[in-house]
Structure 1
Amino acid sequence: MPHLTPEQKNDFKENGCLIIRNALAPEQIQAAQDTLWAGIEANRNDPETWVEAGPRSPASTNDPAIRATVHESPLFAMMEEMVGKDLLNPGSAGPAFVYPSKDKNWSLPARGHLDGYYTPTNGVAEGTVGYMTMNVTIYVEDIDAKGGCFTYWPGSHRVAHEYFKTHSLLSVQGGVSSDLYPEGKFPEGQQFVGKAGDAIFWHGQLFHSGSKNVNRNIRMALIGRFSRKDSNDIRFETNDDQWATWEGIN
């Protein structure tokens, strides 16, 4: 039985993203929280110690409770419904935390970026580019506006697709999206506000950004990036139809 409706698939096609509420069962949320708190350098029962704590990634992507959020929930099956059965590398999601800041001045990020591009600090090899087909951000804590929300630009995947029809994937320096928008002008981004267990799928060429957390809660998120098994063969090909290789959407 399908997990997604035709309307949801159309929303993903149009916006490059799709929010799924209550993607995780309560016991999956609890198990993930317990695993993550074991690695946080703060007192779980004292929010004052959460401010500017660490680390950014307090657990392994291979921890059973973390891996279960993707593979023992409907999320991976939903991705396969859109991309195609057995076409994605299995992968997992890894912690990406934003701790509360002492500085309470907040503004919405002015622009986004694309993942997979070299910067001096992100570990991507210079002169290469990653290729992500579909990604997911999963919240394992309630996250309100201004709480370090995953921020995204709906429809920006279509801008990227048009750009890459006539430009190399390597032409975007550091994944900075001002290279793609003619005047470097972005529309206003949207914050993904959600409860523990909510998730958002996002296309591999959707502009997105992190954001500052001025709230009480730690932005406890897991982010998974998934590529097709044949990504090395199709990485530098940009079809006229952006969805030509998506069996569940084309």
Structure 2
Amino acid sequence: MKLTTDELHLFKRNGYLIKRKVLDPDLMERARAMLWGGAPPDRLRDDPATWVGPFRPYEENDEGSNYRRGFRWAYREPGDEEWMIRLLATEPKIWSMVEQMLGVGQVVQPERIRGIYCTLPYGDHPPQKLNCHTDGHPFHVGVVGYIDDVPPGGGGFMVWPESHRAFYPTFTSQYLRDQDEAAYEKVRDEFNQRTPVDAHGQAGDIVFWHHRLGHMASPNTSKQLRQAVLYDFLKTDMEQTQQEPPQEDMWRDWSDEIRAIDIDTDTMENVA
């Protein structure tokens, strides 16, 4: 599977791209089944009434391998399973599209994915305010894969289009966390006044997103448990490029194919 020129243009302009029906159904079912091995005893796969959050105090777990707190559940333990990596990071269609963006033979071979990330239904609890953030660890492009249906308002990956282009120069390096705090917060405040995009979807859908894109795991006002797998792709030269300052061309170290896409004539509201 290859990305079209229009799709590459959308990704470069908006900072994200949704692709439908990409993940393998059998591996998705295997992941859904495995998730419940890390669930508290009272949370039952076949009883949706038990999915409603938040986690009770005795169910909470601060261990990174199976983090549970509030409405968030990050089951990272199975992320190094070979079939889990194959479900998302090395899935041939995904790998092909990522190499289009980063360059053939230029992508670090995955050793694990982040894991299975869930958001419990909020039930009668009010949803929190929508606020974007950027991730601190270095990578180039992330992918979120839905292993079950995520309806509108169902805790899907929420993005602030075009924010990657505004956030990028507020950092003191291309990919590390260090930033000009005042400049960063000014951009964040501006984008938080805009309406974000709820990137909901069905089982098998994926969302590509740029490292500097403003995003959040949105509130889950549905009755469905939001289940997703995540991975972050990076190039083999990251150790060098991560320390370089922001470039005039923020796509300088991406593929020739994506660098050739012209978005200079596109309009982005001034948030500087």
Q: Could you state the TM-score of these two structures normalised by the residue count of structure 2?
A: 0.77
SS at match of 2:17: strand
Counterpart of 1:44 in structure 2 is 45
Deviations 1:135-176 (A, max 9, x none): 011111111122111111111111123434899951255xx9
In 2, Cα distance between the equivalents of 1:148 and 1:108?
13
Aligned residues of 2:160 and 2:191 also touching (Cα < 8 A):
no
Structure 1: 5+ residue runs without aligned partners? 117-129
Aligned residues of 1:84 and 1:246 also touching (Cα < 8 A):
yes
Deviations 1:52-96 (A, max 9, x none): 257412342112332122213411221111111222223334221
SS at match of 1:27: helix
Specify which of 108, 113, 134 is matched with residue 133 of structure 2. 113
In 1, Cα distance between the equivalents of 2:14 and 2:232?
18
Q: Which amino acid aligns with 2:33?
A: D
**Residues 219-238 of structure 1 mapped to structure 2, 5 A cutoff:** 219-235=226-242, 236-238=244-246
2:204 aligned with 1:197, yes or no?
yes
CA-CA distance at 1:40 after TM superposition: 2.5
2:99 aligned with 1:99, yes or no?
no
Counterpart of 2:65 in structure 1 is none
Q: Percent identity?
A: 27
Deviations 1:22-68 (A, max 9, x none): 01122222222122233233211111111125741234211233212
CA-CA distance at 1:11 after TM superposition: 0.9
Structure 2: 5+ residue runs without aligned partners? 60-67, 260-272
2:87 aligned with 1:69, yes or no?
yes
1:72 to 1:165, Cα distance in 2 relative to 1, 3 A = closer
Q: How many residues align?
A: 234
Q: Provide the aligned C-alpha RMSD in A.
A: 2.6
Aligned residues of 1:141 and 1:221 also touching (Cα < 8 A):
yes
SS at match of 1:135: strand
In 1, Cα distance between the equivalents of 2:104 and 2:44?
43
CA-CA distance at 1:15 after TM superposition: 0.7
Q: Which amino acid aligns with 1:229?
A: T
